[in-house]
Amino acid sequence: MLSFDDYRTIINEHLTDFIPETDSKAAVLSESMKYSLRVGGKRLRPALLLASCDFAGGDIGQALPYACSLEYIHTYSLIHDDLPAMDNDDLRRGKPTNHKVYGEDIAILAGDGLLNTAAEVMTGEVLRHSGDLIGMTRHASAAHEIMSRAGIRGMIGGQTADVKGEYMEANADLVRFIELHKTADLLTAPVRAGLMLAGADDEMLNDFTSYALNIGVAFQVLDDILDFVGDEKLIGKKVGKDQDLGKCNYVCVHGLEAAMEELHRLTSEAKLSLTKYGDDASFFISLADQLENREY
């Protein structure tokens, strides 16, 4: 297996390779899509996809279009989340948000364009394997996994609960629903899709699903902690937004100390899911530790 930095380098080198050329009359669309893709980002989700495929003995060249597609979906969700109708943010990844540079109309279309391109790229890959039933089934499963976890029972459903939950009473069930769907689903999709592309068995899929859901929820709990105590310069966007919007998150429901304990518990649970793989799973174990200690 490669290091996280090596997977990230592969992604950064190929990230825009799968964006089709647009007609010159729509040139601003691909420009704004590429602006948000290139403006930064940890590349956590696509790196997880390549690493999971690699771990299970798959070909990371075949996984690359799915890894990039997932980053397109993640980036679309950030562009739309930053819009005035949602979180109304001026900064993302330390740079002006898409609508601040291109206007709201183009930012909405850039998000649409990224989501649609992801579906186009992945279904194209499925079609390319139509002569090989086993290969095609693996590709179709990976594409379905990504689209459904990004969809209305996944990230979009979680975002809806978040948006509509803004002014509700503090509610632990609502907070867990938002953590699981707005955030953890899009961190679970790459792990499962990578394994599916490699043809992993159900036992491995179950163990890694448990790992991914736990780091995914932990990721959101830490996001909530950072919204209270994080450094705006490091994070690259305004902090304290949840309180400003009257949003209910893990910290406001359970308190800061309990949030830190939950972050540690979830990270330990994630690592425990992979105990049987020993040193072979060290990439995933050290990633869980790094995520627990991230400051942005």
Lookup result for tokens 């291109």: 102
Closest CB to ligand GRG among residues 186, 200 = 186
Render the burial of 37-54: b for 16+ CB within 10 Å, e for the rest: bebebebbbbbbbbbbbb
Single-letter amino acid, residue 274: L
**Where does this chain touch ligand GRG (CB under 6 A) — which range of 23-31, 74-82, 121-129, 246-254?**
74-82
Q: Is residue 81 at the binding interface for ligand GRG, with CB under 6 A as the rule?
A: yes
| Residue 140 to residue 196: CA distance in whole angstroms | 9
| Residue 156 to residue 148: CA distance in whole angstroms | 10
| Residue 147 to residue 34: CA distance in whole angstroms | 21
Q: Is residue 93 at the binding interface for ligand GRG, with CB under 6 A as the rule?
A: yes
Closest CB to ligand GRG among residues 43, 139 = 43
Nearest to 3 by CA among 43, 62, 35, 63: 43
Minimum Å gap between C-beta 81 and ligand GRG is 4
Judged by CB under 6 A, the chain residues 234 through 293 that form the site for ligand GRG are none
State in Å, rounded, how far the first CA of the chain is from the last one.
Answer: 26
Q: Is residue 97 at the binding interface for ligand GRG, with CB under 6 A as the rule?
A: no
* Burial bucket for residue 9 (CB in 10 Å: 0-12, 13-18, 19+): middle
Minimum Å gap between C-beta 78 and ligand GRG is 6
Q: Binding ligand GRG by CB under 6 A: which of 32, 62, 77, 214?
A: 77
Q: Binding ligand GRG by CB under 6 A: which of 54, 89, 145, 223?
A: 223
Q: Is residue 188 at the binding interface for ligand GRG, with CB under 6 A as the rule?
A: no
DSSP β-bridge partners for residue 91: 96
Closest CB to ligand GRG among residues 145, 223 = 223
> What residue ranges bind ligand GRG (CB under 6 A)?
41-42, 44, 77-78, 80-81, 93, 155-156, 159, 182-183, 220, 223
